[in-house]
């Protein structure tokens, strides 16, 4: 019985599907940002209230499983940055990719649709 109520509590206190979707949107926005934005700058760029952006950032930080191969980091100034998970690639793979030419030019990258993870799909 204790496990049942623990599960109910976990379900009731976890972020909603909309918040998790916002977290993925925030990460996509951070990938496109010319520089790491502060929360207010991110909210303004997305056309969201600052509280919504802050909630999405918090969800991305506390629910890393929704971030896929990305992780949210904060700069010393408090700005936000989306980077790849270091555990996904070996140091040798990261070094090789850092030296390679971009596979997609910026103009082509801009035409790609934003990354979304359907809420009903399990994350890897």
pLDDT 10s digits, 44-63:
999 999 999 999 999 998 88
pLDDT of residue 84: 79
**Is 60 exceeded by the pLDDT of residue 110?**
no
pLDDT of residue 62: 87
DSSP conformation letters of 108-122: HHHTSPPP---TTSP
**Is 90 exceeded by the pLDDT of residue 124?**
no
Label residue 59 exposed, middle or buried (CB < 10 Å: 0-12, 13-18, 19+).
Answer: buried
Tokens of residue 24, six digits: 């993925």
Q: What angle, 0 to 180 degrees and rounded to 10, lies between the N-to-C axes of helices 39-46 and 17-32? A: 100
Compute the residue count for the chain.
124
């Amino acid at each position: 019985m204790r496990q049942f109520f623990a599960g109910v509590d976990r379900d009731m206190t976890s972020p909603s599907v909309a918040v998790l979707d916002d977290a993925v949107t925030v990460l996509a926005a951070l990938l496109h940002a010319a520089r790491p934005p502060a929360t207010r700058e991110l909210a303004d760029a997305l056309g969201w209230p600052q509280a919504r952006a802050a909630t999405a950032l918090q969800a991305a930080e506390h629910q890393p499983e929704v971030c896929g191969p990305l992780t949210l980091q904060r700069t010393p100034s408090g700005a936000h940055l989306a980077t790849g998970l270091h555990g996904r690639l070996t140091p040798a793979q990261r070094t090789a990719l850092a030296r390679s030419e971009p596979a997609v030019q910026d103009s082509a990258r801009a035409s790609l649709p934003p990354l979304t993870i359907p809420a009903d799909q399990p994350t890897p």
